[in-house]
Homo-oligomer: A and B are copies of this chain.
Amino acid sequence: MKYSQYFIPTIKDSPADAELTSHKLMVRAGMIRKLAAGIYNILPFGLKAIRKVENIVRDELNKAGAVEVFLPSIQPSSLWEETGRWLQYDLELLRVKDRHDREFCYGPTHEEVITDLVRNDIKSYKQLPVNLYQIQTKFRDEIRPRFGIMRAREFTMKDAYSFDATDAGANISFEKMVQAYDNIFQRCGLQFRGVDADSGAIGGDFSREYMVLAESGENEVAYCNSCDYAANVEKAKVLYKENIESTVPEEQLEEVHTPGYKSIEEVANFLKVTPADCVKCLIYETEEEMIALLIRGDRQVNEIKLKNFLGVETIALASDELIYKTLQLTTGYLGPVGMKISVYADNELQENRTFVTGANKDEFHLKNVDLSRDAQIKGYGDFRNIEANDPCPSCGKHGINFCRGIEVGHVFKLGTKYSEKMNATFLDQNGKSQHFIMGCYGIGIGRTVAAAIEQNNDDKGIIWPKEIAPFHVHLVSLFNKDSDLMEASEKLYNELIEAGVEVLWDDRNESVGKKFKDADLLGLPLQIVFGKPFQEEKQVEITERKTLTKEKFPLNKAVEIITKKLS
């Protein structure tokens, strides 16, 4: 492709709203342009990379026996009412009415549509298993779209859905996808990790996320140094010593005056104990009720675990105002003793010891609180984040480490969650009606490209992994007025194309500086420069973008050397 006839509008400055390196680089390299918040135009250089990822995805899914379809973006509300998600989804679902006032949504996912298709067209176990996928645009009206196409509202996703007759079959379908995902992200040249994850709004029994490792990732991953355990911190289970026999402590409850000391640190300092000796009492609102949660003073609450434990759809910390209005209590002095709403406590608080808590009385705390003696605990559960000194939930050894990742893929065992709600059945070998056993499998296509850039760049620009680079070679002709040089450039350009190399030829009438800067910014694996060495001794300079090492070669060896370097 000749740059002069292409459309890569590079710019010098990063956009004001860009926080992530990948976002900045994608805008500067003329890959994307914002149309509205979370809605992006994909320009030619960006689209090339996206198509490369799409083709790798398509290739690996086809190999794994999945079959491509294309489902509508606009979906009737009636299907979403069958699964109950029309009500469950909040403002993230972009709802729309057509000219006849019928309700639709712009699909954020396609479980309903695919289950409807399959229940109408697959009647017998003989037609199973089937795994249908598509590469299609989704819309999720995120409250805070950000990071360019990393977390856009309108975005391209590969979603696949498997349908099986038996649990064993469903597990095979799932494992095939796990293998395909490993292949896909390896072929994309990414450092990644598959981790256990929470199933979120999609639901189902088990799910696994694919994380591209990057400091700026929104997800925290916990992994074990001793075994292959890895999980999203949202999901990572905390082991605790079960069946500790509780003994009633000798110390009696004691009310202490703690004027103005509200935070755990302040109270612990004042009472000369550690934060681990204190218990935080937090009030949450769900769509059903208000509850109190107890957790050790030095721990972090994991709201996803709490939400799953309670089986509710929404959960959020109650405001100070609401707490005062409902319970006539002041935040900072809350505690379990005498609490009028249901109290849940983290497993760790079953240890046989006493704690400091708020006294449910302004400016007072309680010492020597024994939860089994002094409070009513409705349930104990795993409500906190795993920490570095916790044992591995898989092998039990110590040595949990943490890293950050960008979620680029997510696979789910759905079981019969959707097929039951939508009454999607087939006839089994005995002529008996059974619900399909489903799995679903997503990859964010644009996000994978952005994550690759987030993982591969330097202060000059992008460093493309070869498999997803928009072109392989950036051919730079420095002096447009030298017709010998331009002719020789064009000859090499044509020879490389002939040899199957994808070339971007910078034939523009631009300054030498601008051409070099753009070549580094666009970051194609190899740069071939026609400059002074060509004029003086018919040599071209070949730079590997990753290492920035430069070598000179005679022009007549260039095709051979370039194809060898690329293979």
Residues of A within 8 A of B (CB): 5-7, 9, 30, 33, 35-36, 39-44, 47, 50, 65, 67-76, 91-92, 94-96, 98-99, 102, 104, 106, 113, 116-117, 120-122, 126, 130, 132, 137, 139, 141, 143, 153-154, 509
CA distance A153 to B98 in the complex (A): 10
Query: Is there contact, CB below 8 Å, between B68 and A47?
Result: yes
Q: List 27 interface pairs A-B (beta carbons < 8 Å), by A numbering.
A: A5-B65, A7-B130, A9-B122, A33-B121, A35-B76, A35-B117, A36-B75, A39-B72, A39-B76, A41-B69, A41-B113, A41-B117, A42-B69, A42-B70, A42-B71, A43-B69, A44-B68, A47-B69, A73-B137, A73-B139, A74-B94, A74-B153, A91-B99, A94-B98, A96-B96, A106-B106, A126-B509
A68-B47, A121-B9 known; A74 vs B509 contact (CB < 8 Å): no
- Nearest-CB residue, chain B, relative to A43: B69
- Nearest-CB residue, chain B, relative to A79: B35
A96-B96, A117-B33 known; A72 vs B41 contact (CB < 8 Å): yes
CA distance A274 to B102 in the complex (A): 50
Given contacts A5-B67, A42-B71, A106-B106, 15 further A-B contacts (CB under 8 A): A7-B132, A9-B121, A30-B121, A33-B117, A35-B71, A36-B104, A42-B69, A42-B70, A44-B68, A73-B139, A74-B94, A74-B154, A94-B98, A99-B141, A99-B143
How many Å from the CB of A424 to the closest CB on chain B? 15
How many Å from the CB of A18 to the closest CB on chain B? 16
- Nearest-CB residue, chain B, relative to A95: B96
Copy tally for this chain in the complex stands at 2
CA distance A67 to B8 in the complex (A): 10
Query: Is there contact, CB below 8 Å, between B69 and A44?
Result: yes
User: What residues of B have a CB within 8 angstroms of the CB of A117 in the complex?
Assistant: 33, 35, 41
Query: Is there contact, CB below 8 Å, between B74 and A106?
Result: yes
User: What residues of B have a CB within 8 angstroms of the CB of A74 in the complex?
Assistant: 36, 39, 94, 106, 139, 153-154
How many Å from the CB of A304 to the closest CB on chain B? 22
User: What residues of B have a CB within 8 angstroms of the CB of A130 in the complex?
Assistant: 7
Query: Is there contact, CB below 8 Å, between B106 and A72?
Result: no
User: What residues of B have a CB within 8 angstroms of the CB of A139 in the complex?
Assistant: 73-74
- Nearest-CB residue, chain B, relative to A93: B99
- Please give me the 9 A-B residue pairs with the lowest Cβ-Cβ distance, nearest first: A91-B99, A42-B70, A9-B121, A96-B96, A36-B76, A39-B72, A99-B141, A44-B67, A72-B154
User: What residues of B have a CB within 8 angstroms of the CB of A75 in the complex?
Assistant: 35-36
User: What residues of B have a CB within 8 angstroms of the CB of A91 in the complex?
Assistant: 99
How many Å from the CB of A155 to the closest CB on chain B? 10
How many Å from the CB of A333 to the closest CB on chain B? 37
How many Å from the CB of A250 to the closest CB on chain B? 56
CA distance A72 to B116 in the complex (A): 27
Contact of A137 among B102, B120, B137, B509 (CB under 8 A): B137
User: What residues of B have a CB within 8 angstroms of the CB of A95 in the complex?
Assistant: 96
- Nearest-CB residue, chain B, relative to A105: B96
Query: Is there contact, CB below 8 Å, between A35 and B113?
Result: yes
User: What residues of B have a CB within 8 angstroms of the CB of A68 in the complex?
Assistant: 44, 47
Query: Is there contact, CB below 8 Å, between A96 and B99?
Result: no
CA distance A36 to B97 in the complex (A): 13
Query: Is there contact, CB below 8 Å, between A7 and B67?
Result: yes
Contact of A50 among B70, B137, B509 (CB under 8 A): B70
- Nearest-CB residue, chain B, relative to A98: B141
A5-B65, A116-B35 known; A72 vs B40 contact (CB < 8 Å): yes
CA distance A121 to B32 in the complex (A): 11
CA distance A47 to B50 in the complex (A): 20
How many Å from the CB of A129 to the closest CB on chain B? 9
CA distance A130 to B9 in the complex (A): 12
CA distance A153 to B102 in the complex (A): 14
- Nearest-CB residue, chain B, relative to A90: B99
How many Å from the CB of A516 to the closest CB on chain B? 20
CA distance A69 to B7 in the complex (A): 9
- Nearest-CB residue, chain B, relative to A40: B72
- Nearest-CB residue, chain B, relative to A92: B99
User: What residues of B have a CB within 8 angstroms of the CB of A153 in the complex?
Assistant: 74, 98
CA distance A5 to B153 in the complex (A): 35
A5-B65, A122-B9, A132-B7 known; A72 vs B141 contact (CB < 8 Å): no
User: What residues of B have a CB within 8 angstroms of the CB of A121 in the complex?
Assistant: 7, 9, 30, 33
How many Å from the CB of A72 to the closest CB on chain B? 5
- Nearest-CB residue, chain B, relative to A122: B9
CA distance A42 to B73 in the complex (A): 12
User: What residues of B have a CB within 8 angstroms of the CB of A98 in the complex?
Assistant: 94, 141, 153
CA distance A436 to B493 in the complex (A): 32
How many Å from the CB of A174 to the closest CB on chain B? 18
CA distance A67 to B104 in the complex (A): 34
CA distance A6 to B39 in the complex (A): 35
User: What residues of B have a CB within 8 angstroms of the CB of A99 in the complex?
Assistant: 91-92, 141, 143
CA distance A242 to B138 in the complex (A): 58
How many Å from the CB of A37 to the closest CB on chain B? 9
CA distance A154 to B121 in the complex (A): 22
- Nearest-CB residue, chain B, relative to A152: B72
CA distance A43 to B121 in the complex (A): 11
